[in-house]
C-alpha cells in the first residue's frame, strides 16, 4: 500500500470524480518511465510498419501548433526557467520535453510528477525528460547522489558500463529517459570540455562512448553523443564567444562508429568552421548550418536518429544570431534545446512552414521521429 495525502483528502470529502482523475494521473506517471509491451528502443531504427502506423495515428491527432511544440525542449531546475513558467508552458502545450539543470533528486522528481499530472489531465503527448548526466556533471545535476568519478578517469569499457548503470538507475527512478551524454570530444584540455572527455586517444574515446551508449539504451535511457562535429580540438568556450574549427574536422571520424552502434541522438555544437572548402559554415555555428546538420550528419554519415541543438539561450556563440532557433530548425535539427522564447519559436517555425512546403515536410519528419522515440520508450501507449 502507498499513502497519498491528496488521495486521502479526496476520500474524506467523498469526491469520487477527483479520485478517478488522480488515479489516472498515477497510472500515467507509472507508465511514463516503463517500457511499453509492444515496442522498445531497439525498434526505433527498424523498418516496422506497425510502429510507423502508430506514429501516424498520434501525429494525426495533433494540429500544426501542437506538432511543432514537440520539437521544443525547455529547462527546469535551479538554473532553468522559473517553475511557474515551466508549469504554464506545459499547461499551454508549448513543449515536448524538458531538460533539468541543477537540483536535488527529490525536487526534480516532485516537479516531474506535477508535470506528468498536468499533461495527463489535458490528454497531451507525454513529455520527454532529459538531463546532462555525464559522469563529470552527474553529482551537480542530481545533488545528493553518491560521488561518481569524472569522465576522464574512466579507463575501461567495464568501468564505462558500471558508471552508466549507476547513472541510469538514478535517472529511471526519477523519470528521466534521455541523457545528454556521453561527451565524444577528443580532449581533456579544452576550456569547455575539461574533465568531461574520455581523453585524447581517439580509439579509446570511441570504445568508451560506444559502451556508455549501449548500456544506457539497453536500460531504456536514450544516449546523446556530443558535441558534433567535435568540440575538443578547438580553442575557446562556446558559452562565452564564437569559437572555430580552423581547417579539417579532426574529430569527425569519432561519429560513424557511434552511429553504426545505434546511438539515438546527437547534439550539435555551436562551433563555426573556417578554412574548410567543403564544410565552411560562412560564420554560422555548425548547429545553424544546413551544410553540417543535414548534408554532413544526416546525409553523408547517414544518421537517422534525433539531432538536437546545444542550449540556444545562454551560449554567446549562438545568442548573437538573429532567430537562431528557426535557423537551427531549418538547418535540420529535430529538437531545439532551451530557446529563449518557446512561443515565439513555435510561431516563427509555423510562419516559415506556410511559406516553404519543403521545410514543412522536413518539420513533419522531425516531429514523427520524436513521436516514434516516445513510442519506443513506452511513454505513449499503442492504440488499437
Q: Which pLDDT belongs to residue 258?
A: 98
Q: Which pLDDT belongs to residue 77?
A: 92
Query: What is d(CA 250, CA 147) in angstroms, rounded to the nearest whole number?
Result: 33
In a domain, 12, yes or no: no
- In the block, residue with C-alpha cell 579539417: 248
In a domain, 91, yes or no: yes
In a domain, 164, yes or no: yes
- In the block, residue with C-alpha cell 513558467: 85
Compute φ and ψ for 323, nearest 5 degrees.
55, 50
Structural domain harbouring 235: 32-376
In a domain, 384, yes or no: no
Q: Which pLDDT belongs to residue 234?
A: 84
pLDDT in tens, the chain (384 residues): 233 434 444 444 455 444 444 444 433 433 433 444 699 999 999 999 999 999 999 999 999 999 999 999 999 999 899 999 999 999 999 999 999 999 999 999 999 999 999 999 999 999 999 999 999 999 999 999 999 999 999 999 999 999 999 999 999 999 999 999 999 999 877 767 889 999 999 999 999 999 999 999 999 999 999 999 999 888 766 666 678 899 999 999 999 999 999 999 999 999 999 999 999 999 899 999 999 999 999 999 999 999 999 999 865 566 677 889 999 999 999 999 999 999 999 999 999 999 999 999 999 999 999 999 999 999 998 876
In a domain, 274, yes or no: yes
Buried b (16+ CB within 10 A) or exposed e, 60-96: eebebebbbbbbbbbbbbeebbeeeebbebbeebbbb
Query: What is d(CA 158, CA 10) in angstroms, rounded to the nearest whole number?
Result: 50
Degrees, nearest 5: CA angle 249-282-200:
20
We report the CATH number of the domain holding residue 183 as 3.20.20.300
In a domain, 27, yes or no: no
The number of domains in the chain is 1
In a domain, 18, yes or no: no
Q: Which pLDDT belongs to residue 189?
A: 76
Helix (H) or strand (E) holding 97: strand 97-100
Q: Which pLDDT belongs to residue 238?
A: 61
Query: What is d(CA 304, CA 86) in angstroms, rounded to the nearest whole number?
Result: 30
In a domain, 246, yes or no: yes
Amino acid at each position: 500500500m502507498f499513502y497519498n495525502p491528496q488521495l486521502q483528502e479526496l476520500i474524506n470529502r467523498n469526491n469520487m470524480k477527483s479520485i478517478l482523475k488522480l488515479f489516472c494521473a498515477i497510472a500515467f506517471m507509472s507508465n511514463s518511465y516503463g517500457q511499453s509491451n509492444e515496442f522498445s528502443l531497439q525498434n526505433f531504427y527498424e523498418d516496422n510498419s506497425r510502429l510507423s502506423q502508430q506514429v501516424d495515428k498520434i501525429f494525426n491527432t495533433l494540429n500544426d501548433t501542437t506538432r511543432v511544440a514537440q520539437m521544443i525542449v525547455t529547462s527546469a531546475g535551479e538554473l532553468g526557467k522559473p517553475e511557474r513558467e515551466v508549469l504554464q508552458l506545459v499547461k499551454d502545450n508549448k513543449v515536448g520535453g524538458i531538460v533539468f539543470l541543477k537540483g536535488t533528486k527529490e525536487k526534480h522528481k516532485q516537479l516531474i510528477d506535477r508535470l506528468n499530472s498536468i499533461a495527463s489531465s489535458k490528454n497531451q503527448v507525454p513529455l520527454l525528460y532529459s538531463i546532462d548526466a555525464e559522469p563529470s556533471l552527474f553529482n551537480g545535476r542530481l545533488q545528493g547522489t553518491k560521488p561518481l568519478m569524472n569522465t576522464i578517469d574512466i579507463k575501461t569499457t567495464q568501468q564505462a558500463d558500471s558508471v552508466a548503470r549507476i547513472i541510469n538507475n538514478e535517472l529511471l527512478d526519477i523519470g528521466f529517459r534521455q541523457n545528454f551524454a556521453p561527451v565524444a570530444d577528443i580532449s581533456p584540455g579544452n576550456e569547455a570540455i575539461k574533465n568531461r572527455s574520455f581523453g585524447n586517444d581517439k580509439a579509446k574515446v570511441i570504445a568508451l562512448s560506444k559502451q556508455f551508449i549501449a548500456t544506457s539504451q539497453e536500460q531504456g535511457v536514450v544516449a546523446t553523443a556530443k558535441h558534433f562535429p567535435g568540440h575538443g580540438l578547438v580553442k575557446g568556450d562556446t558559452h562565452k564567444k564564437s569559437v572555430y574549427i580552423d581547417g579539417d574536422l579532426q574529430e569527425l571520424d569519432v561519429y560513424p562508429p557511434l552511429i553504426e552502434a545505434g546511438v539515438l541522438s546527437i547534439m550539435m555544437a555551436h562551433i563555426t568552421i573556417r578554412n574548410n572548402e567543403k564544410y565552411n559554415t560562412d560564420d554560422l555555428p555548425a548547429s545553424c548550418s544546413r551544410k553540417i546538420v543535414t548534408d554532413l550528419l544526416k546525409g553523408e554519415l547517414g544518421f537517422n536518429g534525433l539531432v538536437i541543438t546545444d542550449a540556444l539561450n545562454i551560449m554567446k556563440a549562438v545568442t548573437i544570431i538573429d532567430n537562431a532557433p528557426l535557423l537551427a530548425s531549418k538547418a535540420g535539427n529535430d529538437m531545439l534545446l532551451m530557446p529563449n522564447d518557446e512561443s515565439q519559436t513555435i510561431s516563427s517555425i509555423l510562419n516559415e512552414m506556410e511559406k516553404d512546403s519543403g521545410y514543412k515536410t522536413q518539420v513533419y519528419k522531425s516531429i514523427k521521429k520524436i513521436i516514434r522515440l516516445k513510442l519506443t520508450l513506452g511513454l505513449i501507449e499503442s492504440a488499437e
